[in-house]
C-alpha cells in the first residue's frame, strides 16, 4: 500500500539502523562461529554450557539474518513510496512467550497462516489442535527433515501448556498489591520456562538434531549440567522481569 507514515527522516533512520545491523552481522560471522559448530557436529565434544551458547547464538544469527533480508527490501519499498509489512517488529531477545515470539518472527507469514490455515481450521475454538497442523506445515514448508518436524512438534508440545495457563491467567484478577506481586513473579517464572523450552526446541531443530536429544538430556541431567541448567533458568527469569519493565515503560509512554 502507498505509504504516508514515514517521512524522509524516518526512512533515513530506518536505513541507518539497517546498516548498523549489517555491521553486527559482519562481526558475528567473523568472530563467532556458531553455525560452524552446529553444522560440523563438533558440539558433541563441548560442555553443556558451550552447547547452550551455540544454540543461543544460532538463534540470534538466524533472527539477524532474516531481519537484514526482509528489512533491506522493505527499506527500498519505503524509498519507492510503498509500505510493506514489517517482518521482525520485535527483537528476538524481547519475547518471553511463544505466542508473541511467533507473531513477531516472519510476521507477514504469520498473518498468511492465520488467514489461510488457522481461521479455516476453526480459529481459537480449536486452538490446541490447530497449532499441530500449522507447525507441521511450517516445518515441511522449510524442508522435509526429521529434525525440523521434531522442532515443530516440540514447539507444539511446549505451546499447549502456555495456552492453557494464559487462558487461566486471563480470568485471574489480583485483589491486592501482594496478589499482583505474586502473579507477576509467577508470570516471570512461566516466562523463564517458556524461553528454556524455546531454546530446547531450536537446539533440536537447528543444532543437535533428533539424534542428539538423548545426548542433550543425559549431559544436562549430569552433575556438570544441572548447575548450568539452573543458571540458564535464573538468567531467563531475570531477563523476563526486565522485559516486563520494558513493556510497562512502553505502556506509560503511550498513555502520555
State the angle between helix axes of 48-79 and 213-220 in degrees (0 to 180), rounded to the nearest 10: 120
Q: Is there a contact between 20 and 68 (Cβ–Cβ < 8 Å)?
A: no
Tell me the HSE value of 73 on the side-chain side, using a 13 A CA sphere. Answer: 9
Decide: residue 132, CB within 10 A, 0-12 exposed, 13-18 middle, 19+ buried.
middle
Residues 247 and 75: their CA atoms lie apart, in Å, by 27
Residues 163 and 140: their CA atoms lie apart, in Å, by 24
| From 30, 142, 245, 254, the catalytic residue | 142
CA angle 230–128–159, rounded 5-degree value: 20
Q: Is there a contact between 197 and 159 (Cβ–Cβ < 8 Å)?
A: no
Residues 84 and 15: their CA atoms lie apart, in Å, by 15
Q: How many CB atoms lie within 10 A of CB 211?
A: 11
Q: Is 256 a catalytic residue?
A: no
Cβ neighbours for 211, distance < 8 A, ≥ 6 positions apart: none
Bridge partners (DSSP) listed for residue 2: 82
Write out the catalytic residue numbers: 142
Amino acid at each position: 500500500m502507498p505509504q504516508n507514515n514515514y517521512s524522509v527522516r524516518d526512512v533515513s533512520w530506518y536505513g541507518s539502523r539497517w546498516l548498523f545491523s549489517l555491521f553486527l552481522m559482519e562481526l558475528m560471522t567473523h568472530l563467532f562461529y556458531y553455525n560452524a559448530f552446529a553444522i560440523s557436529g563438533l558440539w558433541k565434544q563441548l560442555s553443556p554450557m558451550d552447547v547452550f551458547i551455540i544454540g543461543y547464538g544460532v538463534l540470534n544469527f538466524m533472527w539477524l539474518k532474516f531481519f537484514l533480508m526482509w528489512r533491506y527490501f522493505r527499506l527500498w519499498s519505503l524509498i519507492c513510496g510503498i509500505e510493506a509489512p514489517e517482518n521482525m517488529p520485535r527483537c528476538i531477545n524481547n519475547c518471553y512467550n511463544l505466542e508473541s515470539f511467533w507473531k513477531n518472527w516472519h510476521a507477514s507469514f504469520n498473518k498468511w497462516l492465520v488467514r489461510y490455515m488457522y481461521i479455516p481450521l476453526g480459529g481459537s475454538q480449536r486452538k490446541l489442535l490447530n497449532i499441530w497442523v500449522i507447525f507441521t506445515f511450517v516445518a515441511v514448508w522449510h524442508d522435509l527433515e526429521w529434525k525440523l518436524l521434531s522442532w515443530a512438534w516440540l514447539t507444539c508440545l511446549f505451546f499447549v501448556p502456555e495456552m492453557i495457563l494464559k487462558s487461566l491467567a486471563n480470568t485471574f484478577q489480583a485483589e491486592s498489591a501482594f496478589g499482583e506481586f505474586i502473579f507477576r513473579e509467577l508470570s516471570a517464572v512461566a516466562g523463564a520456562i517458556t524461553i528454556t523450552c524455546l531454546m530446547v526446541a531450536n537446539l533440536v531443530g537447528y543444532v543437535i538434531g533428533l539424534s542428539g536429544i538423548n545426548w542433550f538430556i543425559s549431559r544436562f541431567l549430569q552433575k556438570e549440567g544441572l548447575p548450568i541448567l539452573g543458571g540458564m533458568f535464573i538468567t531467563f527469569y531475570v531477563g523476563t522481569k526486565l522485559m516486563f519493565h520494558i513493556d510497562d515503560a512502553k505502556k506509560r509512554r503511550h498513555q502520555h
